[in-house]
Amino acid sequence: MNRDEQNKAPISKQTLNRMPAYLLYLKNLDLQERQSISASAIASDLNLNEIQVRKDLAAVSSSGGKPRKGFDIHMLIEDIKAYLGYDDVNNAVIAGAGKLGQALLCYDGFSEYGLNILAAFDSDPAVIHQSVNAKMVYPIEKMPEICHLLNIQIGIITVPAAYAQLVCDQFVKSGIRAIWNFAPVLLNVPQDILVQNENMAVSLAILSKHLSVKLKKND
């Protein structure tokens, strides 16, 4: 099956959302030590249901697992990358899985605009390793590794204002090309990085200004 055919194959949202965790896990295996791995070993190491893992990997694997040997690790990594759309410029991650970050993670409507939020990062142990709408929240320290691994181009900032520049710098170091910033801060970025600031307060101020002008006219 070529990459285009693979991308057309139906795959559930939950399966897609588990792929970054599989990819991270497989990339950290020592390929000198072993070249293949079984679905049951992956399920046990990631604390997932074995049947679920088998189904997930069957949906993406171009070769399928061999009965005794399992999956060729290198091929499986390439298959998962292809499924995640490694060259897709619209793959994004979130920094700050708090109230706003979680709301964005839970909103499925972005996919209609081609934006795929694949994972999130946070510094709070209470949310790290939790999944939100089946998307994993990773420790912020993992950002460079995961962004490079998934070839992420867009970083979404939903941390408190005081940490926004720090997180922005971490995104830039992680190879991000564009930033969607929800924190009320003007970010310093290298010239080639695009920043889109989002501020609901500004929209509300415009709305209230229009309303006051309209009401004055009606007086």
Ligand X SMILES: NC(=O)c1ccc[n+]([C@@H]2O[C@H](COP(=O)([O-])OP(=O)(O)OC[C@H]3O[C@@H](n4cnc5c(N)ncnc54)[C@H](O)[C@@H]3O)[C@@H](O)[C@H]2O)c1
Instruction: Please give the residue ranges that form the binding site for ligand X (CB under 6 A).
Output: 95-101, 121-124, 127, 140, 158-161, 163, 166-167, 182-184, 198-200
* Cβ proximity to ligand X, 14 vs 199, nearer residue: 199
* Residue 99 labeled ligand binder: yes
* Residue 155 labeled ligand binder: no
Smallest distance, ligand X to C-beta of residue 149, A: 18
As a whole number of Å, the end-to-end CA separation of the chain is: 69
* Cβ proximity to ligand X, 16 vs 164, nearer residue: 164
Smallest distance, ligand X to C-beta of residue 42, A: 28
Distance CA 92, CA 150 (A): 9
* Residue 119 labeled ligand binder: no
* Cβ proximity to ligand X, 40 vs 208, nearer residue: 208
**Which residue of this chain has its Cβ atom nearest to ligand X in the complex?**
98
* Cβ proximity to ligand X, 62 vs 123, nearer residue: 123
Question: Residue 140: which residues within 8 A CB-CB, separation 6 or more?
Answer: 95, 121, 122, 123, 167, 170
Q: What single letter denotes the amino acid at residue 47?
A: N
Distance CA 114, CA 82 (A): 16
* Residue 85 labeled ligand binder: no
Q: What is the DSSP letter of 175?
A: T
Smallest distance, ligand X to C-beta of residue 162, A: 8
* Residue 175 labeled ligand binder: no
* Cβ proximity to ligand X, 31 vs 161, nearer residue: 161
Q: How far is CA 200 from the centre of its chain?
A: 23
* Residue 96 labeled ligand binder: yes
CA distances for 53 relative to 19, 33, 42, 165, 181, angstroms: 10, 22, 8, 38, 35
- Between helix 161-173 and helix 143-150 the angle, nearest 10°, is 50
Question: What six digits make up the tokens of 189?
Answer: 């970025």
Per the annotation, where are the binding residues for NAD(+)? 96-101
Per the annotation, where are the binding residues? 96-101
